[in-house]
Structure 1
Amino acid sequence: MFSPVMKNALFAGASALLLSSVPALATDITFYYPVQVGGPLTQVMDGYVADFEKAHPDIHVDAVYAGNYTDTTTKAMTAAKNGTPPTVAVLLATDIFTLMDNEVVEPMDDFIKTDDDKTWVEGFMPAFLASAKVDGHLWAVPFQRSTAVEFYNKDAFRAAGLDPEQPPKTWDELVEMGQKLTLKDASGTVTQYAIGIPGNSGSAQWLFGALAAQNGARLMSDDGKTTYFNDPKVVEALQFWVDLGTKYGIHPDGIQQWGTTPQDFLEGRLAMAWTTTGNLTNIRKNASFDFGIAPYPGHPDPASVLGGGNLYIFKDASDEQKAAAFEFVKFMTSADLLADWSIQTGYVAPREDAWQTETLKNYVSEVPAADVARQQIAVSVPELSTYDSARVGQALNDGLQAALTGQATPQDAMDRAQEQAERILRPYQN
């Protein structure tokens, strides 16, 4: 017979043995991400998540494809306001002021403790890291970054008697070459436009930032509190965009859609297409013709615009979830993974060490066009980013579309957009 003390000791020992044999519960984190370019990228992302979970069996990642960038931001903000935010999300770099203003994200500074963490941060390209810093704090880290580039059909250039290795470098050359590249059938209907620049809401402001920069203008101040929509050089840039269609006839009438632009290019309806470098892999896999990627032209100096998404950690997750999310963020921004993501998509790997991996060096050697976007960073400006960015961006998009569809002159459209933006931003200027 065991004494009560012995019984209690045996019971405690058995309980301890039983508990030690049960694996610890995993920390669950939710990861929202968008897909803004063509291709089966959800499968690629699922593969990365599986690799992370294998390396971190104590963390489970619920990866949620949430639509395009706009959809993903809307869903993340709605979830945060309802008390069920994602733990981590890929959202536009330009969302930073809105996310800060709504107090839904945690500064990355809070997680950067070790020398290794500091070295990891220092490895990001300064141009992309700058978009994640506000008021001395790092609020996110770069992930799928880009510059806007020009895809062009080399076969179409040859057919038009143009040098396929010399795409336009200035606005004047764009118009001159564009008139040779625009084709019509016997009835006078255009069968191939020289160029398509997406002007739908959500895309227009990004590509227009490049046009404005090519004309020596900026759309906003660095602190996100002031816009310059009706600056004469900005208005002049919009007039040129409108003229591509109405005056020169080398651009589709009205609004060229972002979502159809890659397919329009692949099917020969456009000889040149302005879009993200993130479409490179999709176009490379599906083009039935010889194509190239070129930097944007200028007036006179070339310029493009930075774009893409950063990784943010949300504030209202538990401490354990945020710590797990930080491990996930570091995994997703490792040199090897970013190199692979760049190859799978065409996005610019935002770390210099990613470009030193054998994987990416071999790819660039095979596909030199993959390096155009990186080389263009030096002449690229930040994308439109302000406080209350959704409303300010919509004001600009509405103005751009009004001008492109002939509902307003570029001057009137930009005057109206600037007036709306000033009213929206006034509370942040005090």
Structure 2
Amino acid sequence: MKRALMTLSALALLGTACGQTGSAPQSPAQGSSAAAPASVEPAKTSDKPVELQFMFPVAVGGPITKLIDQLAADFTKENPNIIVKPVYGGSYQDTMTKVATAVQGNNSPDLAVLLSTDLYSLLQMNAIEDLTPRFSKEYFGGFYEAFMGNTKSGDTVWSVPFQRSTIVMYYNKDLFKKAGLDPEKPPKNWTELKEAASKLTVKDGSGKVTQWGVEIPSTGYQYWMLQALSLQTGTNIVSNDGKNVYFNKPEVLESLQFYADLGRKDKVMPEGTLEWATVPSDFISGKTAMMYHTTGNLTKVKTDAKFDFGVAMLPANKKFGSPTGGGNLYVFKNIPEERKKAAVKFIEFLTTPDRVAQWSIDTGYVGTTKAAYETDKLKNYIKDFPQAAVARDQLQYADIELSTYQNGQVTKLFNDNIQAVLLGQMSPKDALDKSQQQADDILKNFRK
């Protein structure tokens, strides 16, 4: 997936572009926003090649731009009459802003990777193509069902899972050993998490914390983290049709209290703001022994960490659980039919088992199809690096990510209120009641 806090100016821009006054938070960005055409020239034919503009964000660390450039080039080798031109939009939200502006200007890209949760915003804009008749039922059936939830509105499929994720727990095995904990037994529930985090929180002689037990990001995607805790407590926070949220249910209150207490009461996590982009850096540098983060950072941690680390499913409360996350492939409605067909062909190319397997290996994102995990490539990778199987195994406990009509506004207000709790400015109950009322005021017009 997936993620960092947007500036107010970026939020305002996306609100204008989408016809909203707020926006979902952004992800850390890398790469240039300039077009990066495929390096392979199409073979000369009597027909003019079809050119596809492919908008793409970079949401986690790693060589994503190079990987996409190579995929585009490889596709053109196989399809010399189609040239794919990747255009890097920055973060997910920067990319969504640019796409929305282009759609309003009747100059939409041909296809794009955007958050799966952007679905209802794109439907409000009448921007995207119905993909249900473009692919077979067997094709869609090859994806993990947990990832298909955020592709649909009713029975209509509007996007294809691509760089998808869940939240997992990373832990430093060396620091576990040093603290007298079994490095092969990460916490399996909230009680064990608090106990381990307490032993892993280290202070110097002056009482200053030099190593934290756990870090859970609290900017950009705090709603995602709270949603995971809520699923573990027994409820999701959103309906399947994007028209209802359940922010003030008792299970969500229990979860937000736990989230806040880790820093403010238990003192095993820093109080206040924990930036989405810096938590992985804290983990890699040894400033925290455990972290909750997207599996999309798995390859970066594997590459950069100078210690033995483990990956585990998120600790359970009443059960295990995580929302899915990340980006899907969308085809845009207001483009010529020949480009729609070419875009579908490119999507089919990207989602073959071997390419899904390689993409998972190269990035850390979860392989989106069952067939990818049957390839020798991914089987051998998991055999040597079993941490790569954790996110896939957690899919059986996963559910849809928060996605609603006016999603930008709903997510922003919820994030703001969660942040107020983590900063000690509002009680969990007041924050959730306020969030529910604000969201209901926004969504009531879509329930008619």
Which residue among 132, 141, 144 is the counterpart of 2:163? 144
- The answer (yes or no) to whether the contact 2:167–2:293 under 8 Å persists in 1 is yes
Q: How does 1:120-131 map to 2 (within 5 A)?
A: 120-131=139-150
The residue number in structure 1 matching 2:207 is 188
Looking at structure 1, the residues matched to 137 and 133 of structure 2 have their Cα atoms a distance apart, in angstroms, of 12
1:92 maps onto 2:110 in alignment:
no
Which residue among 229, 240, 252 is the counterpart of 1:222? 240
Q: Structure 2 length normalisation: TM-score?
A: 0.89
Q: Match for 2:168: what amino acid? A: V
3-state SS of 2:90 partner: coil
Q: Which moved more, 1:168-177 or 1:298-307?
A: 298-307
1:35 maps onto 2:58 in alignment:
yes
CA distances 1:127-161 after superposition (whole Å, capped 9, x unpaired): 21232121221111111111110000001110100
CA distances 1:1-27 after superposition (whole Å, capped 9, x unpaired): xxxxxxxxxxxxxxxxxxxx8642111
Q: Match for 1:41: what amino acid? A: I
Q: Match for 2:271: what amino acid? A: D
Q: CA deviation at 1:69?
A: 1.4
CA distances 1:288-329 after superposition (whole Å, capped 9, x unpaired): 111000000111322112111111000111111111111111
Looking at structure 2, the residues matched to 384 and 263 of structure 1 have their Cα atoms a distance apart, in angstroms, of 26
1:236 maps onto 2:259 in alignment:
no
Q: Match for 2:387: what amino acid? A: A
3-state SS of 2:437 partner: helix
What is the root-mean-square deviation of aligned Cα atoms in Å?
A: 1.2
Q: Match for 1:31: what amino acid? A: F
Runs of 4+ in 1 over 4 A off after TM superposition: none
Q: How does 1:6-405 map to 2 (within 5 A)?
A: 23-112=46-135, 117-201=136-220, 203-405=221-423
Q: Match for 1:161: what amino acid? A: G
Cα distance change, pair 420–55 in 1 and its aligned pair in 2 (3 A): same
Q: Structure 1 length normalisation: TM-score?
A: 0.92
- The answer (yes or no) to whether the contact 2:149–2:400 under 8 Å persists in 1 is no
Q: Which moved more, 1:294-303 or 1:396-405?
A: 294-303
Aligned length: 405
Looking at structure 2, the residues matched to 212 and 122 of structure 1 have their Cα atoms a distance apart, in angstroms, of 28
3-state SS of 1:66 partner: strand
Q: CA deviation at 1:66?
A: 1.0
The residue number in structure 1 matching 2:11 is none
3-state SS of 1:54 partner: helix
- The answer (yes or no) to whether the contact 1:224–1:386 under 8 Å persists in 2 is yes
3-state SS of 2:242 partner: coil
- The answer (yes or no) to whether the contact 2:119–2:151 under 8 Å persists in 1 is yes
Looking at structure 2, the residues matched to 190 and 22 of structure 1 have their Cα atoms a distance apart, in angstroms, of 67
Q: CA deviation at 1:217?
A: 2.0
3-state SS of 2:54 partner: strand
The residue number in structure 1 matching 2:7 is none
